[in-house]
Each structure stands twice: as structure tokens, then as C-alpha cells.
Amino acid sequence: MCGTCGCSEESGGTRITMLREDDGADHGHPHPHEHPHPHPGLQSDDAVETVTIEQRVLAKNDLLAERNRTWMTERGVVAVNMMSSPGAGKTTLLERTINDLAGRRPVAVIEGDQETRLDADRIGRTGCAVVQVNTGAGCHLDAEMMRDALTALSPAEGSLLMVENVGNLVCPALFDLGERAKAVIISVTEGTDKPLKYPYMFAAADLILVNKADLLPYVDFDVEQCTRHARSVNPDVRVLTVSATTGEGLDHWYDWLAAQR
Ligand SMILES: Nc1nc2c(ncn2[C@@H]2O[C@H](COP(=O)(O)OP(=O)(O)O)[C@@H](O)[C@H]2O)c(=O)[nH]1
Ligand SMILES: [Mg+2]
């Protein structure tokens, strides 16, 4: 379906895995789906057809996302969609956040990756409720996967639900999951220019976390310039500089999370 990133109807389907101490079962269900992506510059009839299908797919996704939002609102569940390139530190930040918020607020996690349950296992070791969504060849979570993950996870009333999206600065920006807010993480090893190169992602962000601040003395990364780039596509966006490893700046992250109710 998608000529941009290679995800296709032959992707092999999505798998949702609930991690329990006594249950390693894979509650799989085949899930062929279409993937919309912009195709700038294409003018042919095929391109028009593709755009029409993409609009339908996004409209269907938005409908499901709205249902997810209603479902969560009724239960006082607040979801934060965490997006970044692979390796920016999403899981590390989640592990630390879960430990630091222990006792303050129930937390549950949905982990998205193409393959493996490695991240869910990491989160599971904190004692936090977690489900792993494997997207196969898919490059993002969508609202249908979110719905199935919510059903499997059944987060407690009043939970903070952290959703780790598939590591990718492109497609996840297009798909509303029904979340309350989107947090985009960029690490200082990725380069100052990323908000300019991936404007859709940074424009969609409610919060930008500049992670791995502990490495700033060793890399060529300009936080002020990166912030200016981010605000050129998202003028009012809040930017926090943090280190998931040392804990630097995380109090501001926790204040922001506490305000998401
Ligand atoms: N120095 C440093 N390394 C970090 C930090 N956060 C994550 N990492 C490392 O970055 C790598 C990728 O982290 P991970 O959490 O798996 O990234 P994810 O793919 O976004 O979930 C791991 O080796 C982490 O230890 C940080 O704040 N500082
Ligand atoms: Mg991860």
C-alpha cells in the first residue's frame, strides 16, 4: 500500500501480547491494513486514487481514535503518545518515570515495536502493567491497535497510560490513537536539524524532550538552535532538556505529566 516506507498489506499482521507472570501467550489476530502517507509531487490518476484511499484510511483511524478517547475519558485514563527515532531513549525514560512516579499515580504502558517483546519485558521488570504490540512490517501504531491494546491491558481507573510508539519520526505523526498528548523525544546524538527534516512530527508535538543531555559536552548539538527549529514548525511548543540516565530535568517532565489530567 505505502510506496514511501514499504509497509504493505502483506505485512504479516499485528500481534498484541499481554505480559503476565503466568501468561506468555500471543493473543494474535491477523490484521491487514492500509497505510496512508503523503506522496508529494505525484500527479497521476494513480496518485489521486492513492490520496483518496489514504484520506479514507485516516478518516477511519480518526473515528476509532475518537472512540478510544471517549473510552479513556470515561475511565479517567490519560494517554501520552511517545514518539521518536529508534534509540532516542523512550524506554529508558519510561523505566525511570515508572520508578520515580511509583505510589503517586497508577501507570500502565503500551509498547509498540515491529518485532520482539524486549521493551515490554524491560517495562514488566518495573512491575508495571504492560502490553506489547508488534506491528510486523508496519511502521506506526494506529487507533485499531490502540483499541485492541486497551482491551488487553484494561488500565486501572485514573491511570497514566504511556504509549511507546514504533521508533520512527515519520508515520506515527499521522495517526491519532485517542491520546491526550503527544510527546516527541529527540536525543542530542541525532543532530540539531531534525525538527526541520521531520516537520510533521515536531509540528504534532505537545511537548518536545531533548534527551541524553548528559552527552552534550561530547557531541555537536545546539539545544537553543534545535528549539528554534522546533518552534519554526510549532511556535508554542514546550521544550524540556532532560537525561533519562542521570535524571537531569525530569522534575519538569513529571510536572508536565501531572498537568495532563
Ligand atoms: N547517555 C545517555 N544514554 C541514554 C539516555 N537515555 C537512553 N540512553 C541510551 O540510549 C540507548 C537507547 O535507549 P532506549 O531507551 O532503548 O531507546 P528507544 O529505542 O527510544 O526506546 C540505550 O543504550 C540507553 O541506555 C540518556 O539520557 N543518556
Ligand atoms: Mg524502546
pLDDT digits (tens, 9 = 90+) for 77-135: 999 999 999 999 999 999 999 999 999 999 999 999 999 999 999 999 999 999 999 99
Q: Which atom of ligand 1 is the closest one to the Cα of 246? A: 27
pLDDT of amino acid 118 = 97
Q: What is the mean pLDDT of the chain?
A: 88
8 part of a folded domain: no
Structural domain contains residue 131: yes
CA 135 – CA 16 distance, rounded (Å) = 9
Q: What pLDDT shows up at residue 214?
A: 98
Which domain CATH number covers 118?
A: 3.40.50.300
User: Which residue has its alpha carbon closest to ligand 1 atom 13?
Assistant: 89
Residue 177 covered by a domain: yes
pLDDT at 11: 46
Cα 59 to Cα 253: distance, rounded to the nearest angstrom = 32
Domain extent at residue 146? 15-259
Say yes or no: CB of residue 211 within 6 Å of ligand 1: yes
Contact 117, 124 (CB under 8 A): no
Distances, alpha carbon 150 to alpha carbons 14, 108, 241, in Å: 14, 10, 31
Whether 51 is covered by a domain: the verdict is yes
Interatomic CA distance for residues 196 and 228, integer angstroms: 10
* pLDDT tops 80 at residue 169: yes
* pLDDT exceeds 80 at position 51: no
Least reliable range by pLDDT among 38-42, 149-153, 256-260: 38-42
In a domain, 9, yes or no: no
Using pLDDT thresholds of 50, 70 and 90, give the confidence band for residue 23: very low
d(CA 145, CA 254): 27
How much distance in Å is there from the Cα of 261 to the middle of ligand 1?
27
**Does residue 186 sit within a domain?**
yes
Tens-place pLDDT, residues 131-148: 999 999 999 999 999 999
Strands of the sheet containing 181-187, edge to edge, are 15-18, 129-134, 107-113, 160-164, 78-84, 181-187, 207-211, 238-241
Task: Answer yes or no: is 203 within a domain.
Answer: yes
Closest CA to 211 of 248, 166, 260: 248
The answer to whether the CB of 96 is under 6 A from ligand 1 is no
**Is 80 exceeded by the pLDDT of residue 258?**
yes
Please state whether beta strands 181-187 and 160-164 pair in parallel, antiparallel, or not at all (unpaired).
unpaired
* pLDDT bracket for residue 56 (50, 70, 90): confident
Measured distance CA(200)–CA(126) in Å, rounded: 33
Nearest of 87, 239, 62 to residue 169 by alpha carbon: 87
Ligand 1 test: best mutation among 92, 121, 194, most atoms within 8 Å of CB? 92
Q: What is the pLDDT of residue 15?
A: 85
- Work out the angle at residue 145's Cα, subtended by the Cα atoms of residues 186 and 46, and round it to the nearest 5 degrees: 85
What pLDDT score does 222 carry? 98
Q: How many domains does the chain have?
A: 1
Distance 89 CA to ligand 1 centre (A): 4
